[in-house]
Structure 1
């Protein structure tokens, strides 16, 4: 098992400095962002790496002697977005990341299943939260008719490159739970598409990440170590599907998600928050989580994703790494 960090939180510094931070944490892997919602800050010369052996070897040389190696690529985005400025761009990033993974000696690419619009001619995605009415099922039928040919193509491309594509089970995507995973595999016949098991999004949906790992078994290709704290008083009033987000204006710091879409400000009185490991679930849970992943694949890549706004970039990684390493030891997976 290889424990590391998803590098987005370290995009504020050059790659060599990011590798030093990770090594100081006692971790050995870095999951590199290669497009999608975020720019590939630490892989700025993707096109050169794809075409030049010298550029590839020079890039890989940056990792030599650091104690940290690449632990998968990540291009989370919405490749099924009905706006081609977003959907086509994110789909291109997935295809390019698959080719890049092969060039870098990697066999895992993390992304999301995507979410189409709700009907032909739609311009924005439509997430069906609860399909209690027939019209909602019509929307889902339309969305699956778009998703199936796309993921059939990607599965073939991944197979041709010796790569496995791991889909994060992220709400606001067509595939966000165990049933959806099995449906995608059944409809596409995919053998190179599976799951990146990010526990955080399962927590707030009241799913059990350990049970999901064991239910999906070999379909789990990679994992993210990220925690969630349920703020029970707010959750009791608003529920976990609360939409009290604030639109950020153009003169405020904000993250572009493609085209003219931007991340919103998190609710002030949130029902739940992303937190560093240990602030939502204790070491015992994370030991069970690592054990379940190890049962699936002893070489599983598990990378910390830090989105705890109460902690600084490195501070949050330090808190999470301490818990993750303690959990590894408690699960008897060290040495």
Structure 2
């Protein structure tokens, strides 16, 4: 497998230093953010690369001789957001990322399916968690119509540029499980829209990432290595859909998600947390995760995403890299013995 890192956690340093971190940890790829919720910090010449071969070559030259390659582009955001200040920007970021991928010789762009509002005229997305009533299905019918139009056109663009768009199965998006993936493909006839298999969001939904990979098969284009730890004492009381988040004030450090939307503070007594690989599931589990991905594509890019607030940036990446490399070694050994 091709093991790398999603670069957002290293936005605090220049690209050459980020590449050096990846190489020092024994990884070989860097997935680069190109817009959406986060700016394209490591692609300052984005506009120039789209039109200038010299700018493209200069950017690619940063990776030469490092032992690290670009491992896909990332553009996570909400391209279907009903507020055009956010939705129009994020949808254009997806299109620009597809064009940039072709320019850089890349064939994978990671993003999210997006989430529209529940009815015309609203400016807030509406995530239907449990459609037990007919009104909720009316909302979903409306949302799927919007999503189908956008992803049908985006699939066409991706096909023209020889790019596969991999959707992260992230809650608060219209597509967040296997059934939704099949529905999107059926509605759009997509050939170049599939899945980025980020195990973390499946874990806390009580889905089995290994089973999902084997079920979706060739629809899995890309993967993220991020772990989750369930905290039984709070999950038992509040379940995994607990909404005890705190709104951060403008004078506190906070992450802008577009327009006037901001990330909230994580619950203090959380039912679950994102953790570095190994803190939720052991090497044996991650070996089987890699095995399932290998069955789909032995050259698939599997990139660490670090969001463990209990560990520092480099510390957390190092912990995850050690587990991921051990799992890959175990997989290789078993394949050779097999």
What's the TM-score, normalizing by structure 1? 0.99
Query: What's the CA shift string for 1:134-169, capped at 9, x where partnerless?
Result: 000000000001000100000000000000000000
- Counterpart Cα distance in 1 of 2:267 and 2:298: 39
Aligned to 1:44: 44
CA drift of 1:44 comes to 1.2
CA drift of 1:332 comes to 1.5
- Counterpart Cα distance in 2 of 1:134 and 1:15: 50
Map 1:255-294; keep pairs closer than 5 Å.
255-294=255-294
SS at match of 1:229: strand
Aligned to 2:318: 318
- Counterpart Cα distance in 1 of 2:45 and 2:237: 48
In structure 2, list runs of 5 or more residues that go unmatched: none
SS at match of 1:207: coil
- Counterpart Cα distance in 1 of 2:59 and 2:30: 14
Aligned to 1:17: 17
Query: What's the CA shift string for 1:83-141, capped at 9, x where partnerless?
Result: 00000000000000000000000000000000000001111000000000000000000
CA drift of 1:331 comes to 1.0
SS at match of 2:278: coil
Aligned to 2:190: 190
- Counterpart Cα distance in 2 of 1:3 and 1:86: 32
CA drift of 1:45 comes to 1.2
- Counterpart Cα distance in 2 of 1:126 and 1:113: 14
Aligned to 1:250: 250
In structure 1, list runs of 5 or more residues that go unmatched: none
SS at match of 1:331: helix
Within the alignment, does 1:104 sit opposite 2:119 as a pair? no
- Counterpart Cα distance in 1 of 2:187 and 2:9: 36
CA drift of 1:174 comes to 0.1
- Counterpart Cα distance in 1 of 2:177 and 2:119: 23
CA drift of 1:39 comes to 0.3
Aligned to 2:63: 63
Query: What's the CA shift string for 1:12-71, capped at 9, x where partnerless?
Result: 000000000000000000000000000000011111000000000000000001110000
- Counterpart Cα distance in 2 of 1:325 and 1:274: 20
CA drift of 1:327 comes to 0.3
Aligned to 1:238: 238
SS at match of 1:42: coil
SS at match of 1:110: strand
Aligned to 2:176: 176
Aligned to 2:201: 201
TM superposition outliers: structure 1 runs of 4+ over 3 Å: none
Query: What's the CA shift string for 1:228-283, capped at 9, x where partnerless?
Result: 00000000001000000000000000000000000000000000000000000000
Aligned to 1:89: 89
- Counterpart Cα distance in 2 of 1:319 and 1:151: 37
CA drift of 1:329 comes to 0.8
Length, aligned pairs only = 335
Aligned to 1:332: 332
Aligned to 1:144: 144
CA drift of 1:176 comes to 0.1
What's the TM-score, normalizing by structure 2? 0.98
